[in-house]
Copies of this chain bind each other. A is one copy, B any other.
Amino acid sequence: MATMTAAQRRAEAKAEYDTYLSTCKSRRLLDRLSDKWVTLVLCALAEDDMRYSELARKIAGVSQKMLTQTLRTLERDGLVIRRVTPSVPVQVEYAITQLGQSLVEVVYELKRWAEGHMDDVETAQGRYDRRNASRG
C-alpha cells in the first residue's frame, strides 16, 4: 500500500506520542484528577471516613455507577482503602490513605488558586465575549 505512506507516518507519530503521554507521570495524574468525581470523593474522605451511602448522599449529584467506578480506581491507585464489615447487611467503609492525603494537599493548592483567581478569569471571559459580540 504505497499510497498510505503519509497516513502511516502520521499514525506512527501518533502512536509514539500516545506512548509518551501514557508514560508521562504528570499526564497520568491529570487524567485521574480530571475524572469529574475523583476530587470530590477524595476531599470528602479527607474530612472523614465514610460509608458508600454516606458518600452518595454527601456528593449528591453522582450516579452510583460513577461513584463505584471512582472508588474502584481510587482503591486500585492506593489512594483510598475499602474496609468490609461482614455484618448482615454488609457494611463498607472507605478511608483515605497517606498517599491519598498527600494528594489532597495538592488539590487544596488548586482550590486556593481557584478561589484567588477565578474572578479574574471570569472578568477576562466577559471582556472577550463583549469584544466578540460585534463580530458574530
How far in angstroms is the closest Cβ of chain B from A117? 6
* In-complex Cβ contact of A79 among B13, B109, B121 (8 A): B121
Interchain CB contact under 8 A, A75 and B29: no
Q: Which residue of B lies closest to A76 (CB)?
A: B128
Interchain CB contact under 8 A, B78 and A111: no
Q: Is the interface of A mostly helix, strand, loop or mixed?
A: helix
How far in angstroms is the closest Cβ of chain B from A118? 4
* Any B CB within 8 A of the CB of A2: no
Interface residues of A in 12-26 (CB under 8 A from B): 13-14, 17-18, 20-21, 25-26
* Any B CB within 8 A of the CB of A103: yes
How far in angstroms is the closest Cβ of chain B from A17? 3
How far in angstroms is the closest Cβ of chain B from A3? 22
